[in-house]
Amino acid sequence: NDSQRQATKDAGAIAGLNVLRIINEPTAAALAYGLDKNLQDEKNVLIFDLGGGTFDVSVLTIDEGSMFEVRSTAGDTHLGGEDFDNRMVTHFVEEFRRKHRKDLRKSVRALRRLRTACERAKRTLSSSAEASIEIDALFEGIDFYSKITRARFEELCMDLFRSTLEPVERALNDAKMGKSQIHEVVLVGGSTRIPKIQKLLRDYFNG
């Protein structure tokens, strides 16, 4: 909104910058990827921005004069990497309970350590088929060593992964475009490194 834009301008001025104009995030992403370069014609771009805690989809049109028009936005302010971490944490809390008959949720510190390990495992699974969890003295002096495969992680999060396609559809409908009219899909945010999310998008846009 306008007050946020003004606050951003003011922050820039305080930092000693000459603020020419404020552009919104999807436009910034398109610029960062150089999508405005060497245009022969109009280009329609879908920005798929899946971060730690929020999810945004935007459809932009860029013309030859590097003019950007945001045609639509959609998303989910309560979906992101943290939700995927939560699924993995729950999975390992259950495993710990089965193995040791103890409830990790009684200890904030144990949960925090498990969450950190799960975040790391999630990142590993973007490039490997399997990840290890190794935490010494996780709870009541018990060491916890386990593994998770990419396939199992995808299973745990599949409904969340699939739910990202609904805002994509909404953004396209609001922009009055079919998926075949999108020339580029730009992935922004750490969670877009997850192979299954990339595959779902590829399949949705037919490659």
Count structural domains, the chain: 2
My answer on whether 96 and 151 are in the same domain is: yes
- Tell whether the model's pLDDT for residue 36 goes beyond 70: no
Residue-wise pLDDT tens digits, 74-130: 999 899 999 999 999 999 999 999 999 999 999 999 999 999 999 999 999 999 999
CATH number of residue 154's parent domain: 3.90.640.10
Task: State pLDDT tens for residues 179-190.
Answer: 999 999 999 999
Do 125 and 193 belong together in one domain? no
Q: Based on the number of CB atoms within 10 Å of its own CB, is 37 exposed (0-12), middle (13-18) or buried (19 or more)?
A: exposed
| In a shared domain, residues 146 and 87 | yes
**Domain ranges, residue 94:** 81-158
**Burial call 59-69: b when 16+ CB within 10 Å, e when fewer:** bbbbeeeeebe
- 55 and 88 share one domain: no
